Amino acid sequence: MALFPLVSNFQEDFVLQLLAVDSENTMNEVAAAAAHHSVGRRVAARPGHIMRIRRQGSDKPFPCEMKLQDTGLKPMECIEVVWEAL
Amino acid sequence: MAVLSRMDWYDIARTTNWTPKHVTEDELFPQELSGSFDIRMEQWENYDEPYKQTYNEYVKVQREKDAGAYSVKAALERSKMFETADPGWLSVMKSHYGAIPRAEYSASTAEARMARFGKAPGMRNMATLGMMDEIRHGQIQLFFPHEHCPKDRQFDWAHKAYGTNEWAIIAARHMFDDMMTTRSAVGVALMLTFAFETGFTNMQFLGLAADAAEAGDWTFSNLISSIQTDESRHAQIGAPLVSVLVANGKKAEAQKMVDIGIWRAWKLFSVLTGPVMDYYTPLEHRKQSFKEFMQEWIVTQFERSLLDLGLDTPWYWNQLLEEIDSQHHGMHLGVWYWRPTVWWNPAAGVSPEEREWLEEKYPGWNATWGKNWDVITENLLAGKRELTYPETLPVVCNMCQLPINQTPGPAWKVRDYPLVYKDRTYHFCSEGCKWCFEEEPERYAGHLSLVDRFLAGMIQPMNLEGALKYMELAPGEIGDDAHGYAWVEKFRSAYTKNTA
């Protein structure tokens, strides 16, 4: 358990935001934390979609249940949170 | 007694270089302060300032300028401008007064450095007058807003802002300190007078003077027009210097400093001037869009002067041209969303008719920034104002210190431009800001952005309350929507119909 700050870049939002999560959090939990600062605030919710986390510049998202500490991401690295149709 | 005309004696009086005997030339003009690139002394005497004014003439003209500006102020003090002005216009004044006067005062020290350490006698003459200009600009722009302090505490930030760690001021101070207080005489002349003043202050002073006159604020219009007449004179210190540098084989060095200056000035203007021209100024009073102003003053006029002087357009020119279409929309949205963290009340500027204007001036606005504003507007209509306030910090750029933002919506172009330097990761908003850092990393590496300070535990408690305390924003000073959200009601009937 350790505080793990990331830079959140949420699909269709306009700004990078500081995201305070935990190294034990799964990618789904990280996505939910990122959504708290974007979805329903400046980005409309998308029913029928889930959110996936990927490293900036990568096309391949991390597995949904992978823990943050296992991703190889570094503190304050920029993640992209993107919608994926169910 | 017959008096010689100025041009009969000016050149002789200007020839004030001498051969030092008690100290070396390098001791008289240290490299760190002169920045003279080892160009020989006699070459500096080829510097020929285009605007020649004597001290007597200066004093006479400045006295008249001051008399004019102060008379207009005195005559209109009993007017009801403050009470009747659009709240968006008052926000223009507040943001301007907080960001500018003490930076002008700081600029007087930069002018003083050129007045003492410039190797060109003509530069020293012009900078002596420029130094006095900047003292005047600091004083007059602190005095004018002072009358509003009893009515509105946010006007107190005209003096207070520059000494705080409010985020926009960190950004302004970082840029001004970079080009004014920590550069040599040559650096100041290239970055402050040439890049910043020739290129950009027209935006702030001519553009705002026109908008102020349209808005009926004659005091402000007169004041900043008066300042601009000084700026347009002392801004000309840089151009003849570029000619000397190019003639002596130092084009690359000049180009680099000018390029850094232009990029840094652009970023600050995208947050300071863009939002006030396209969002705060009441629609009926807007003379030109920010983009139109940029295209006229920067793309057309300033680009021509760069080429005329033998420089090239900066390597990032296409990037800058793209950004004048987009960057300030995100800066505005960020300032409005994080509005408790500024000392003025941002005007949203996104009522139905204003959105129509934005779409006309910036085709595609509704499909990009408009998408984000749609969600904000719906939340306000649904009574969920709490969702229009932030619960975290935006990540700011380690160069311009401004929120890292680009185009949102389906065209989504937002990204980080990271750089690892000596085991520390820096975040940048653009190739331009990253490049400035890479050119002189040791110059910037030690600075902590607001986010770096937050992560280092320097802001306590680690929430909005702690951030406001750190920025010294007291109750009665923190920003909120300029029009008390009245603009939202214009969407009410369509919203009611859709949700019925």
Residue whose token pair is 């708290």:
A36
Q: Contacts of residue A18 in chain B, CB cutoff 8 Å?
A: 392-395, 451, 454
Shortest CA distance from B405: residue in chain A:
A15
Q: Contacts of residue B391 in chain A, CB cutoff 8 Å?
A: 36-37
Neighbours of B220 (CB within 10 A): 27
Joined together, the tokens standing for residue B286 give 């807007």
Q: Residue by residue, what is the 3-state secondary structure of A5-62?
A: EEEEEECCCCECEEEEEECCCEHHHHHHHHHHCCECCCECCCCCEEEEEEECCCCCCC
Q: Contacts of residue A56 in chain B, CB cutoff 8 Å?
A: 415-416
Shortest CA distance from A74: residue in chain B:
B425
CB distance B280 to B349 below 8 Å: yes
Q: What is the pLDDT of residues A25-41, one digit of tens each?
A: 999 999 999 999 999 99
Q: Is there a contact between A11 and B412 if contact means CB atoms under 8 Å apart?
A: yes
Q: Contacts of residue B409 in chain A, CB cutoff 8 Å?
A: 12
Q: Contacts of residue B395 in chain A, CB cutoff 8 Å?
A: 7, 15-18
Q: Is there a contact between B375 and A41 if contact means CB atoms under 8 Å apart?
A: yes
Most B CBs within 10 Å, among A3, A14, A19, A77, to test the B interface: A14
Q: How far lies B305's CA from each of B192, B199, B449, in Å?
A: 16, 9, 34
Joined together, the tokens standing for residue B221 give 């219009």
Q: How far apart are CA B497 and CA B164, in angstroms?
A: 47
By a Cβ cutoff of 8 Å, what residues of chain A touch chain B?
A: 5, 7, 9, 11-20, 36-37, 40-44, 56, 74, 76-78
* pLDDT at residue B471 in the model: 97
Interface size A-B, in CB pairs within 8 Å, comes to 92
Q: Contacts of residue A42 in chain B, CB cutoff 8 Å?
A: 333, 337, 372, 375-376, 408
CB distance B146 to B77 below 8 Å: no
Could you report how far apart the first and last alpha carbons of chain A are, in Å?
31
Spatial CB neighbours of B351, under 8 Å, sequence gap ≥ 6: B487, B490
Q: Is there a contact between B391 and A37 if contact means CB atoms under 8 Å apart?
A: yes
Q: Is there a contact between A12 and B407 if contact means CB atoms under 8 Å apart?
A: no
Q: Residue by residue, what is the 3-state secondary structure of chain B?
A: CCCCCHHHHHHHHHCCCCCCCCCCHHHHCCHHHHCCCCCCHHHHCCCCCCCCCCHHHHHHHHHHHHHHHHHHHHHHCCCCHHHHCCHHHHHHHHHHHHHCHHHHHHHHHHHHHHHHHCCCHHHHHHHHHHHHHHHHHHHHHHHHHHCCCCCCHHHHHHHHHHHCCCHHHHHHHHHHHHHHHCCCHHHHHHHHHHHHHHHHHHHHHHHHHHHHHHCCCHHHHHHHHHHHHHHHHHHHHHHHHHHHHHHCCCHHHHHHHHHHHHHHHHHHHHHHCHHHHHHHCCHHHCCCCHHHHHHHHHHHHHHHHHHHCCCCCCCCHHHHHHHCCCHHHHHHHHHHHCHHHCCCCCCCCCCHHHHHHHHHHCCCCCCCHHHHHHHHHHHHHCCCHHHHCCCCCECECCCCCCECECCCHHHCCCCCEEEEECCEEEEECCHHHHHHHHHCHHHHCCCCCHHHHHHCCCCCCCCHHHHHHHCCCCCCCCCCCCCCCHHHHHHHHHHHHHHC
A27 min Cα distance to partner chain B (Å): 19
- Give which of B232, B356, B215 is closest to B286, Cα–Cα: B215
CB distance A86 to A49 below 8 Å: yes
Q: Contacts of residue A76 in chain B, CB cutoff 8 Å?
A: 425, 427, 455
Given B393, B408, B427, which is nearest A14 (Cβ)? Answer: B408
Q: Is there a contact between A43 and B395 if contact means CB atoms under 8 Å apart?
A: no
Digitized pLDDT (tens) for each residue of chain B, 500 residues in all: 678 888 898 888 888 999 999 999 999 999 999 999 999 999 999 999 988 899 999 999 999 999 999 998 888 888 888 888 899 999 999 999 999 999 999 999 999 999 999 999 999 999 999 999 999 999 999 999 999 999 999 999 999 999 999 999 999 999 999 999 999 999 999 999 999 998 888 666 777 788 888 888 889 888 988 998 898 889 899 999 999 999 999 999 999 999 999 999 999 999 999 999 999 999 998 888 999 989 988 888 888 889 999 999 999 999 999 999 999 999 999 999 999 999 999 999 999 999 999 999 999 999 999 999 999 999 999 999 999 999 999 999 999 999 999 999 999 999 999 999 999 999 999 999 999 999 999 999 999 999 999 999 999 999 888 999 999 999 899 999 999 999 999 999 888 888 87
How large is the average pLDDT for residues A71-77?
A: 97
B426 min Cα distance to partner chain A (Å): 9
Joined together, the tokens standing for residue B100 give 């500018």
CA atoms within 13 A on the CB side of B405: 28
Q: Is B113 helix (H, G, I), strand (E, B) or coil?
A: helix
CB distance B367 to B328 below 8 Å: no
B361 contact A CB<8A: no
A14 min Cα distance to partner chain B (Å): 4
Shortest CA distance from A10: residue in chain B:
B414
Q: Is there a contact between A41 and B376 if contact means CB atoms under 8 Å apart?
A: yes
Strand partners for A6: A19
Given B387, B393, B408, which is nearest A13 (Cβ)? Answer: B408
Spatial CB neighbours of A66, under 8 Å, sequence gap ≥ 6: A26, A27
A79 min Cα distance to partner chain B (Å): 9
CA angle A17, A20, A23 (to 5 degrees): 130
Q: What is the pLDDT of residues A1-22, one digit of tens each?
A: 799 999 999 999 999 999 999 9
Given A7, A14, A36, which is nearest B405 (Cβ)? Answer: A14
B374 contact A CB<8A: yes
CB distance B314 to B258 below 8 Å: yes
Most A CBs within 10 Å, among B384, B416, B448, B498, to test the A interface: B416
Joined together, the tokens standing for residue A15 give 């700004």
B146 contact A CB<8A: no
Strand partners for B24: none
Q: Is there a contact between A18 and B408 if contact means CB atoms under 8 Å apart?
A: no
DSSP B180: I
Given A15, A20, A43, which is nearest B404 (Cβ)? Answer: A15
* pLDDT at residue B31 in the model: 94
